[in-house]
């Protein structure tokens, strides 16, 4: 379904500039932007993917991963087609890098999406699997309906959204789960065809706008795993997002165009946890690792485990109903209530 795009300006000779993401593509008549799903038709910009769904699931919120956002609940999760990055290690490249005419998809209206989320007993709706920013018109309309229905809302994002677009959706967007893919411009340029600073800016702005922010940093051997880089990103989060911000260092497995790179050694992830903790982060998690104690949440005041997790779910909770540690009474920065009380 075609829908006229939001956030673009008309230029000379029927060209347009898309101001939705930080590529700010200048698009000639008949052409698409970098994301391949926003097209200039006779001087107007259109989304080619409104209502277009490639992926649908009811996921534990911990799978996003979001560990401090309605823990122990389920999130109705949707993805579409396309992306504004070209990550060589993308695990969802079959939907993010596929051409629109080659993709398998169905149409789900915003109204139907909300109905399905409620019918499944979900606490939230998440736009995920590929980049939700390029799906903006659909996610914006859906988010407004979600809030009316009492659903929480989630972007699982690469953070390349423009400030104006993020501010516009902010009254209807509760969680901003952002990937900081590395802490060097070189990585972003060579592996993702993007830039680092806009990602940092959007994460900081999301926090300022009142969204719940959690950070994922995929640790890729030889590309972004140096001690200095791990320390730099940890320090940046403390100084700009706050020491209570959950940070997930996750294990890389070979995908797509990085098949020749080995999985992340567990020792490297342990080092990332050690460094981040040294820099003052209070909630540091390790992901894509089975049976790690660093999947659990520990109270920074008394050290006791207050949320115990298995594979993408909560197995035990020692939170009170007002999100305090059962052992010492310290307040824990959780957005929403643990699902066990619902």
Residues that constitute the known binding site for [4Fe-4S] cluster: 83, 87, 90
Residues whose CB falls within 8 Å of the CB of residue 2, separated by 6 or more in sequence, listed in order: 46, 47, 48, 50
Task: Please say whether the dihedral angle defined by the alpha carbons of residues 251, 252, 253 and 256, taken in this order, is positive or negative.
Answer: positive
Q: Is the omega angle on the peptide bond into residue 126 within 30 degrees of 0, that is, cis?
A: no
List, as residue ranges, the binding site.
83, 87, 90
C-beta of residue 304 within 8 angstroms of C-beta of residue 298:
yes
């Amino acid at each position: 379904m075609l829908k006229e795009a939001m956030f673009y300006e008309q230029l000379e000779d029927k060209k347009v500039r898309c101001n939705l993401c930080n590529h700010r593509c200048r698009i000639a008549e008949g052409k698409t932007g970098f994301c391949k799903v926003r097209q200039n038709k006779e001087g107007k910009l259109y989304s080619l993917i409104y209502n277009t769904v490639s992926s649908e699931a009811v996921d534990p919120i911990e799978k996003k991963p979001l560990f401090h956002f309605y823990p122990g609940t389920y999130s109705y999760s949707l993805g579409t087609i396309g992306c504004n990055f070209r990550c060589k290690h993308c695990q969802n490249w079959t939907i993010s890098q596929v051409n629109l005419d080659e993709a398998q998809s169905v149409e789900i209206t915003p109204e139907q999406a909300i109905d399905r989320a409620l019918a499944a007993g979900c606490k939230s709706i998440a736009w995920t699997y590929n980049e939700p920013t390029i799906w903006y018109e659909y996610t914006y309309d859906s988010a407004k309906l979600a809030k009316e229905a009492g659903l929480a809302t989630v972007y699982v994002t690469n953070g390349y959204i423009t400030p104006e677009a993020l501010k516009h959706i902010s009254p209807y967007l509760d969680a901003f789960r952002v990937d900081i893919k590395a802490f060097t411009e070189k990585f972003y340029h060579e592996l993702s065809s993007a830039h680092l600073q806009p990602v940092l800016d959007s994460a900081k702005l999301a926090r300022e706008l009142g969204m719940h922010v959690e950070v994922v940093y995929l640790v890729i051997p030889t590309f972004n795993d140096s001690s200095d880089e791990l320390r730099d990103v940890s320090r940046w989060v403390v100084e700009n997002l706050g020491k209570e911000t959950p940070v997930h260092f996750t294990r890389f497995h070979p995908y797509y165009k990085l098949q020749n790179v080995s999985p992340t050694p567990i020792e490297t992830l342990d080092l990332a946890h050690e460094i981040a903790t040294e820099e003052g982060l209070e909630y540091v998690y390790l992901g894509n690792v089975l049976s790690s104690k660093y999947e659990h949440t520990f109270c920074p005041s008394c050290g006791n485990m207050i949320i115990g997790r298995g594979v993408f779910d909560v197995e035990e909770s020692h939170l009170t109903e007002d999100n305090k540690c059962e052992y010492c009474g310290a307040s824990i920065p959780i957005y929403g209530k643990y699902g066990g009380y619902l």
